[in-house]
Amino acid sequence: MARVITVAVVDDDRMLLDGMRAWLDGVPELRLVATAATAGELLGEPGTEPLRGSAVPVRPGAVYVPPDVVLLDLLLRDGSTSADNIRRLRRGGSRVLVISTVPDHARVIESLRAGADGYLTKDNDLPTLVAAVKDVAAGLGAHSPELAFACAHDSSPARPRLSPRERQILLDYASGMTLKSAARRAGITVHTAKDYLDRVKSKYQRAGRPTYTKIDLARRVHEDRLDGD
């Protein structure tokens, strides 16, 4: 029997929360366990008030059990930033799928760099949402046209421009290959492959996003969607 994925929704639109409950009630693989108007409310942080009338409200004082995936609205009326909300929810133990009314490209990129696992606009249908939640829960990240477009047009200094060979070595090495195997696949020497990898690290260092380990490099690949461009 397939594992049921637990889902929470952070959104201050009550109609959307009720609609989300109706949607997810018909999906046996997903279970909506909580809804909240703010990230703080979901996490049970002191001083946060529950959203009255929400579909599955967080009980004040309840022990927080992190859901597998949190659907997070990009813009909330409490004035919080999406990047801060994402980091807090990730620290709480959940993966995060950002949902928004519009594909704001700058905020898409900002969300990814804060640790979001995917981005969808609210005009997508239920099968698309379910597929995205499953991908996020599996650690694959949710790819969408909005996300691909934002990454392809990201010209911010924080995303270094890599040459085709630098990118190839980065992708192969970050995917788990040894540097020797990456060099063999590219048809170059290990010394040359190391030079390319050092250039990649140097570019990320200058962009303010240092990459000291293979895990760091894999995270940059995920953040910049280099494997999906």
Residues 178, 136 share a domain: no
Residues 145, 188 share a domain: no
Partner residues linked to 6 by β-bridges: 31
The C-alpha angle 134, 138, 143, rounded to 5 degrees, equals 65
CATH of the domain at 209: 1.10.10.10
User: What is the per-residue pLDDT for 48?
Assistant: 54
User: What is the per-residue pLDDT for 209?
Assistant: 78
Residue 49 within a domain: yes
Q: Distance between CA atoms of 26 and 189, rounded to whole angstroms? A: 55
Residues 175, 145 share a domain: no
- Contact by Cβ (8 Å): 72, 80: no
Residues 49, 101 share a domain: yes
If you average pLDDT over every residue of the chain, what do you get? Answer: 81
pLDDT of 61 above 80? no
Query: Is 222 or 103 the better-scoring residue by pLDDT?
Result: 222
183: containing domain: 164-223
pLDDT of 56 above 90? no
User: What is the per-residue pLDDT for 8?
Assistant: 94
Residue 35 within a domain: yes
- The order of strands in the sheet holding 95-100 is 30-36, 5-10, 69-73, 95-100, 118-121
Residues 138, 63 share a domain: yes
> Domain boundary residue among 90, 120, 152?
152
Q: What would the pLDDT profile of 122-171 be if each residue is shown by its tens digit?
A: 888 888 899 989 988 988 776 666 655 555 555 566 677 888 888 889 98
Domain total of the chain: 2
The C-alpha angle 57, 59, 62, rounded to 5 degrees, equals 140
Residues 78, 16 share a domain: yes
Residues 24, 133 share a domain: yes
Residue 157 within a domain: no
> Domain boundary residue among 95, 129, 152?
152
Following DSSP, what letter does each residue of 56-114 receive, concatenated? SBPPTTPPP---SEEEEES--TT---HHHHHHHHHHTT-EEEEEESS--HHHHHHHHHH
The CB density around residue 193, as the number of other CB atoms within 10 Å, is: 24
Residue 97 within a domain: yes
Residues 90, 147 share a domain: yes
Residue 134 within a domain: yes
- C-alpha 36, offset from chain centre: 19
- Give residue 183's identity as a one-letter amino acid code: A
Residues 52, 25 share a domain: yes
Residues 100, 71 share a domain: yes
Residues 102, 35 share a domain: yes
| pLDDT band per the 50, 70, 90 thresholds, residue 115 | confident
Residue 228 within a domain: no
Residue located via tokens 């109609």:
15
Residues 121, 210 share a domain: no
| Least confidently predicted of 62-76, 98-112, 194-208 | 98-112
Q: What would the pLDDT profile of 12-49 be if each residue is shown by its tens digit?
A: 888 888 888 888 888 899 999 998 999 998 988 765 55
